[in-house]
Chains A and B, each alone.
Chain A
Amino acid sequence: MTDPVISIRNLSKSFGSNEVLNSINAEVPRGDVIGLLGLNGSGKTTLIETLLGFSPASDGLVEIFGKNSFGDIDNDTKKCIGFVPQSDELMQNISVKNYLNLIAGFYSHWNIKLIERLCAEWNIPLEQRTEKLSVGQKQKLAILTALGHEPELIVLDEPVASLDPLARRQFLKELVDIADDQKRTIIFSTHIVTDLERVANKVWLLKDGDIAVREDLDTLKEHTVRVKLPPNTAIPESFSNDSLIHHRNEQLANILLFTQWTAERHQELEQLIGEKLEPEYLSLEDIFLELLQ
């Protein structure tokens, strides 16, 4: 088995007394496309920045390609990483073309044909000055600068926030193309859950400082159910385990969210409760919303 591209061990990060990340453990195998979900303020950007070594961890360790991300990443390793931060201040008073040439100068490998194709397809005028670009064009340019050197690891923090639906679709297509090369790994955070459902093979949901759900996307959808029990029904102790990831009491029902759901679990719960149950399968967005209630 090949080594993971990223290895996260007991990662914690606090800002003063505010603990944003709480002892996170995770691994990212090569070839994975991980969609990072979480509410605003849940720590997605903090996780990304700490992961990439832009910010030191308060505790724990992150390794990228086997090297400590805060301090041990040499230039050769940096060339294997492409990063698109949430908001990017582009250099001003420079044309797109010259800006791209400048970025290209940092790398020994730069796929000029890829950049030319994407500039044309994504409608980024090469002669235009960067400060005159629209918000969407700026975001597209930021993405391009992370792709030109064809890095093995691409990390994107809300890359489509400013893109119109067409631009978003074009960008996703490019991600699909990149992901087709099984040696390349992608992590992206997004609020647009349907984008994640198209492109990601794994989901990480950040909540309360930890990755509350980390699962293969198909497995998550196929084995996560919402079960409604009569209000104030106690969950049988013998049935309750790690697979119960959320529950809440409403006026008309006690609502439970289970993962690892099977026909056997269904039968077992029905027998314990003594009532017929109709578990409901959910879209990823509904799973996400349920977990956050």
Chain B
Amino acid sequence: MFSINPNSVQPIYKQLMEQIRRMIASGQLKPGDSLPSVRDLALTHTVNAMTISKAYNMLETEGLLARQRGKAMTVSTQNKLSENKQDRLKRLQPAINQLAMAADQLELDPDDVITLLQNKMTQK
């Protein structure tokens, strides 16, 4: 279900969080869908269960996942992210830095890059 790279500079729990976020954003995981149990995921991907728990707990704090009592973690049915807009924008900063660097190297105009970005974001 997920692709774990232990050799990455990114801790495994962050890799997992990103992939779950992407799957929710793309609709691969829909509100109400269950996620594998911590233990199942830990054994399938050979990753310490504490790492899986950490990713799940942080996504739960963000409001993306919800824990049903006695049941598996599910994708939250409430569409509200608990992080404020400023914090969410901050999270985008590394991607923005990378994009700006790439655009610089290609000697592209900011306006052209913004148009590309706008097109991508409004595409559904």
Contacts and interface: CB of A to CB of B under 8 A. Distances in A.
Contacts, number: 57
B70 interface: no
Interface stretch (A45-53, A205-213, A217-225): A217-225
B81 interface: no
B42 interface: yes
B73 interface: no
B9 A179 contact: no
A200 B48 contact: yes
Given A194-B7, A283-B7, A33 B48 contact: yes
A285 B50 CA distance: 21
A285 B4 CA distance: 16
Contacts of B10: 221, 281
- A176, A201, A217, A218: most-surrounded residue (chain B CB, <10 A): A176
Contacts of B49: 176, 179-180
Nearest to B9: A281
A286 B7 CA distance: 9
A282 B9 contact: yes
A172 interface: yes
B97 to A, nearest CB: 9
A79 B10 CA distance: 39
Interface string A171-193: 01100110110000000000001
A93 to B, nearest CB: 36
A194 B48 contact: no
B9 A176 contact: no
Interface in A264-293: 281-283, 285-286
A119 to B, nearest CB: 19
29 contacts: A173-B43, A176-B46, A176-B49, A179-B48, A179-B49, A179-B50, A180-B39, A180-B42, A180-B49, A193-B7, A194-B6, A194-B7, A195-B6, A197-B6, A197-B7, A197-B12, A198-B6, A198-B12, A198-B47, A199-B46, A201-B48, A218-B13, A218-B51, A218-B54, A221-B9, A281-B9, A283-B9, A285-B7, A286-B9
Q: 5 closest A-B pairs (Cβ-Cβ)?
A: A197-B6, A218-B11, A194-B6, A281-B9, A180-B49
Interface of B: 4, 6-14, 39, 42-43, 46-51, 54
